[in-house]
């Protein structure tokens, strides 16, 4: 074998080695890819399994939530003012669009009256005390009603101290939304501040309510109905006069604030009166009212309140006759009063 043959053999051997190395490298790469594919397939299978499990859990959760919602809707009927139980569903209440007159057409004589009252409301904003009251009255809540009415009612209303009165007030107020919300949507009347493109006493709420119907006034329904209820519980003409006068002011506050026309407020009082008349015939309400009246008599005429009122009378010094709520009276007062530190009945 000459030198040329040896050189050719070495070249062929080198080429063969290179080919062998390339084949080995390709085989290794293919093996790694296969393992990666196997791992990917395994991961994909696991991912699909997890997704199916999560979908199953989600479906169960949605079904459970829907079931709970349906049960809650049935149990609590039409509304809920901080866990109150409404007396009627919306479907059980009359359609207020078939009872209330249509709101005044723009440029009609009745609308001129609304415009006049709108100007009155703007003038009332110059009275700082009345403007502040209108702002406070704008808070749509049971607590707002309690804060305003308790001093006139003659008894502080609390969940712990007057549970029967508190509970019936909750339930009555939970019923209010259903009597007016449908009419608001159907009438879809433009609010005064939107009509005039002007500001109100509660600017932070303007955008929220700008495109909501104005007729009838929901605030008026809410606070007028609560005044009717409390008047019914205390059964005192004097207290009723004060409660309904304050209830009237709640409605006028909506005119002063610039959120309602006067006819919206008038319709709200009518809707609230209709609602309360319907509620008074409800069996559950009749039972609750009897308990609330008994509680009022016990609390308002009990020894604790008499002691507190007597102490207040003694501190005043000048007048010797006081009503149960602690306000001064004279010898022409009728009913239960505190005279010289003793509870007496004047007929």
- Catalytic site positions: 219, 254, 260, 264
Look-up: residue for tokens 């007729």? 215
Run of H or E including 335: strand 335-339
| Residue closest to 256 by CA, chosen among 126, 139, 141 | 126
| Omega of the bond leading into 54 within 30 degrees of 0 (cis) | no
- Given a contact cutoff of 8 angstroms between Cβ atoms, the answer to whether 175 and 222 are in contact is no
φ/ψ bin of 248: left (φ > 0), alpha (ψ from -120 to 50), beta (otherwise): alpha
CA atoms of 270 and 114, how far apart (whole Å): 17
The strand order across the sheet containing 342-346 reads 321-323, 335-339, 342-346
CA atoms of 174 and 283, how far apart (whole Å): 17
Phi/psi of residue 323, nearest 5 degrees: -75, 170
Cα of first residue to Cα of last residue in the chain, in angstroms, is: 150
Structure tokens given for 218: 């929901």
Look-up: residue for tokens 């022409």? 332
């Amino acid at each position: 074998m000459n030198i040329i043959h040896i050189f050719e053999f070495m070249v062929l051997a080198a080429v063969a080695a290179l080919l062998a190395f390339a084949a080995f490298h390709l085989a290794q790469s293919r093996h790694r890819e296969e393992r990666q594919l196997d791992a990917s397939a395994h991961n994909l299978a696991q991912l699909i399994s997890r997704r199916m499990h999560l979908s199953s859990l989600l479906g169960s959760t949605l079904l459970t939530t829907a079931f709970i919602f349906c049960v809650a809707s049935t149990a609590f009927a039409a509304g809920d003012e901080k866990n109150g139980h409404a007396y009627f569903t919306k479907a059980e209440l009359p359609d207020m669009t078939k009872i209330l007159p249509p709101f005044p057409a723009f440029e009609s004589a009745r609308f001129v009256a609304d415009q006049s009252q709108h100007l009155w409301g703007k003038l009332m904003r110059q009275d700082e005390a009345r403007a502040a009251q209108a702002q406070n009255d704008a808070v749509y809540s049971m607590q707002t009603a309690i804060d305003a009415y308790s001093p006139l009612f003659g008894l502080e209303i609390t969940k712990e101290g007057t549970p029967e009165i508190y509970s019936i007030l909750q339930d009555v107020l939970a019923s209010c939304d259903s009597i007016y919300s449908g009419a608001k949507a159907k009438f879809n009347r433009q609010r005064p501040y939107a009509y005039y493109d002007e500001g109100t006493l509660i600017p932070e709420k303007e955008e929220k309510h700008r495109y909501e119907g104005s007729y009838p006034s929901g605030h008026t329904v809410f606070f007028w109905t609560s005044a009717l209820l409390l008047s019914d519980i205390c059964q005192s003409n004097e207290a009723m006069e004060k409660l309904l006068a304050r209830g009237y002011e709640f409605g006028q506050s909506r005119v002063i604030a610039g959120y309602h026309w006067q006819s919206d407020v008038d319709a709200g009082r009518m809707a609230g009166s209709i609602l309360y008349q319907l509620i008074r015939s409800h069996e559950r309400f009749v039972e609750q009212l009897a308990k609330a009246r008994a509680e009022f008599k016990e609390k308002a005429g009990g020894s604790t309140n008499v002691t507190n009122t007597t102490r207040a009378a003694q501190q005043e010094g000048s007048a010797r006759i006081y009503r149960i709520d602690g306000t001064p009276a004279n010898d022409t007062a009728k009913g239960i009063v505190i005279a010289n530190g003793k509870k007496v009945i004047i007929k």
